Chain A
Amino acid sequence: MGKGRAFFEGSRRLACGAELHPSFTFRSPIARILAANKGEDPQVSSSTLQSKIALPEKREITTTPRLSDRIFRGVVTGGGLSSLVILGLILIFLAYEGYNTLKAQGIHFFTGSKWAATTGANGHVDFKASHFGIAAMLIGTLICATIAVLIGVPIAVSASIFLTFYAPQAVKKLAVTVIDLMAAFPSILFGLWGYFVLDPIGVYWAKLIHKYFNWIPIFQMPAGPYFDRSPLIAGLILAVMIIPIVTSISREIFAQTPLDRIQAAYALGGTKWAMIKNVAFPYARSGVVGGTMLALGRAMGETVAVYTVLNIVYQINWHILLGAGGNVASMILLQFGDASQEEVKALMAAGLVLFAMTLIVNSIANLIVNRSVKGRS
């Protein structure tokens, strides 16, 4: 190959350096035209050289589907679009029902903490005069969810690292089965267990924390002392609920860490922890963050479990050891029992806000997880 003496007598050289035996002719029309363009094929007459480089038109490939297939596609597409329809309907109905409340209350809906309906002279609920404020519940939602993530995610990620990199096969199978089972537990089970079993333990820990750490403001006790059913305990039960989810997702992601990088780390004399820190964590980081956000979304929307372990009080409470708080979902459940149909509209507004919040968090989480799974090098 390359320049130098030609191998065959009378051969031609192409631009790429290849040498053509003199008897060689191009076969396909395109090849002939392209070669003619470069002036390399003496068999092509000059008239062909003149008649341009017209490549044939691409043919459009169509088919007329049979009727049964058209119906099939229609039905399936309809079914597929149902999720769009349902989500859209939820949004529309909640907005429609909650509109009056939001309009009447305005920003007060988000800044006020009181929840009391005032009936006007005409016997209907006066949405303007009433107090519908979910500020305390919004803050409470955030506090409980944050505690849940702060406690639950490190434990879950550590457990998933153990399962991926340290566990012997038998232990791993057993643990994965058990953890997946826990992910299937109904939330009312966590509610019962949380109230009867976790709450007493949580109160004990809260008292300890209060004893030693009450120089930190959030651990102070402004009234009471009421340690029972506090945001801390709600956060604990939510942590227990999200640990299986985060463990599952993290485990799947860690298991996909590219083997060649792992081997490179070991071959350089790294310990297992060194490999995890320098190879597994950077790889899994975005996926684990996505999983955490999914768990956050779940924690924000949890209704029954929070209802049983958190004492709902309509006042913003930052003192997580004090038994007062609430989240939007449990408040809706609580108020529903006593509310008249009109008051329920105010609850719909609260539901709309909750729906929007969880939708946003979940969407961001899914974007992160999808991006991390697809864009893997």
Chain B
Amino acid sequence: MTDEANNDITNENNGEEKAMETKNNSSLASVSAARAAKVGESRVGTGAIGVGLEARGVHAWFGQKHALANVSMDFWPGTVTALIGPSGCGKSTFLRTLNRMHEFIPGAAMAGEVLLNGDDIYAPGTDVTKIRLKVGMVFQKPNPFPSMTIEENVLAGLKLAQLKVENKNELLEECLTRAGLWNEVKDRLKSHGGALSGGQQQRLCIARSLAVRPQVLLMDEPCSALDPGSTLKIEETIGHLADSVTIIIVTHNMQQAARVSDNTAFFLSDGGPGQMIESGPTNEIFSRPKDERTENYVTGRFG
């Protein structure tokens, strides 16, 4: 009798747990479904032909350590892709192979191809600075240039890459508006970039990346150093930007992934190199993940 009763109790507990899980999942899934519905079908055809950015069998090493193995993904124009997974499984490393920032680390090595509009960005004879103009990056800690004013910060990309633009003020206003910062700083464009709050600084960095008209924007945990209010603002910004720029965002926050992304990829490392376990539309990853490890992660069993 006691066993039965115990069983019943255990079952009840399990049932409760499962109910909680489904609640978690379904809350994530419902968020992402709600988003998908809102965005609708408009996301898929932005007029661009073919896959904008593709990774084919990308590996990455730090010296002898094999940090990332065999990641292949497509990033379609006009989509937002989230890379999720526990710390240290290669998400940021993968991100950095997409705009050739990985090579700055001493001892770095890679294998595989990254195709931007069909051309391998690692091909010999490629001008890496041109690649970075097309594939921009926003970092985890906001890093505006402190010696420059807000205006100079936004236009810094032009100065660095020696690009000519007819109407700087127009570009300035456009980028700041798209980053959601125009109204807050339009009266103080000549003041210094360091005087803004963390969230504002990060939006300034986004505006700065937009000024060089990238095709893809990589975001490496852009909100993890910010307060929730700024985070929400930036997620709004991402939503607006996705129409014109392909966005790939690394995030630790699954709710954020559910809120902002169309597709999600789950990375995991079992002590060896990090690998991409599963990828697909966001609401499917969160509601019907195929791989058990993905399911464990999105239901919060670890990570």
- Given A263-B101, A278-B156, A269 and B143 touching (CB < 8 A)? no
- B146/A268 in contact, CB under 8 A: no
CA gap between A266 and B162 in the complex, in Å: 13
User: What's the interface size class on A, roughly?
Assistant: 20 to 34
- B160/A269 in contact, CB under 8 A: yes
Residues of A within 8 A of B61 (CB): none
- Given A268-B209, A269-B132, A274 and B104 touching (CB < 8 A)? no
Residues 130-145 of B contacting A (Cβ, < 8 Å): 130, 132-133, 136-137, 139, 141, 143-145
- B129/A260 in contact, CB under 8 A: no
* In the assembled complex, B208 has its CB within 8 A of some CB on chain A: yes
- The one of A261, A270, A282 that contacts B161, using a Cβ cutoff of 8 Å: A270
* In the assembled complex, A271 has its CB within 8 A of some CB on chain B: yes
- A278/B133 in contact, CB under 8 A: no
Residues 106-145 of B contacting A (Cβ, < 8 Å): 106, 129-130, 132-133, 136-137, 139, 141, 143-145
- B136/A278 in contact, CB under 8 A: no
CA gap between A267 and B139 in the complex, in Å: 9
User: Could you give, for residues 262-300 of chain A, a 1 whenever the CB lies within 8 Å of some chain B CB and a 0 otherwise?
Assistant: 011111111100110011001100000000000000000
* In the assembled complex, B194 has its CB within 8 A of some CB on chain A: yes
* In the assembled complex, A23 has its CB within 8 A of some CB on chain B: no
* In the assembled complex, A377 has its CB within 8 A of some CB on chain B: yes
- The one of B106, B141, B194, B205 that contacts A377, using a Cβ cutoff of 8 Å: B194
- B146/A270 in contact, CB under 8 A: no
User: Could you give, for residues 150-176 of chain A, a 1 whenever the CB lies within 8 Å of some chain B CB and a 0 otherwise?
Assistant: 000000000000000000010000000
- The one of B99, B130, B136, B141 that contacts A260, using a Cβ cutoff of 8 Å: B141
For the complex formed, measure the closest distance between the CB of B248 and the CB atoms of chain A, giving whole angstroms.
14
Select from chain B the residue with minimum beta-carbon distance to A377. B146
CA gap between A271 and B159 in the complex, in Å: 11
- B99/A268 in contact, CB under 8 A: no
For the complex formed, measure the closest distance between the CB of B188 and the CB atoms of chain A, giving whole angstroms.
19
For the complex formed, measure the closest distance between the CB of A283 and the CB atoms of chain B, giving whole angstroms.
8
CA gap between A271 and B127 in the complex, in Å: 10
User: Could you give, for residues 226-247 of chain A, a 1 whenever the CB lies within 8 Å of some chain B CB and a 0 otherwise?
Assistant: 0000000000000000000000
Q: List 23 A-B contacts (CB under 8 A).
A: A260-B143, A261-B143, A263-B104, A263-B139, A265-B160, A266-B101, A267-B99, A267-B136, A268-B133, A268-B156, A268-B161, A269-B129, A269-B133, A269-B160, A269-B161, A270-B129, A270-B160, A270-B161, A271-B160, A274-B162, A278-B156, A282-B145, A377-B146
Chain B residues engaging chain A, CB cutoff 8 angstroms: 99, 101, 104, 106, 129-130, 132-133, 136-137, 139, 141, 143-147, 156-157, 159-162, 194, 205, 208-209, 212
- 4 extra interchain contacts, Cβ-Cβ under 8 A, other than A264-B144, A266-B104? A258-B143, A267-B139, A270-B129, A377-B194
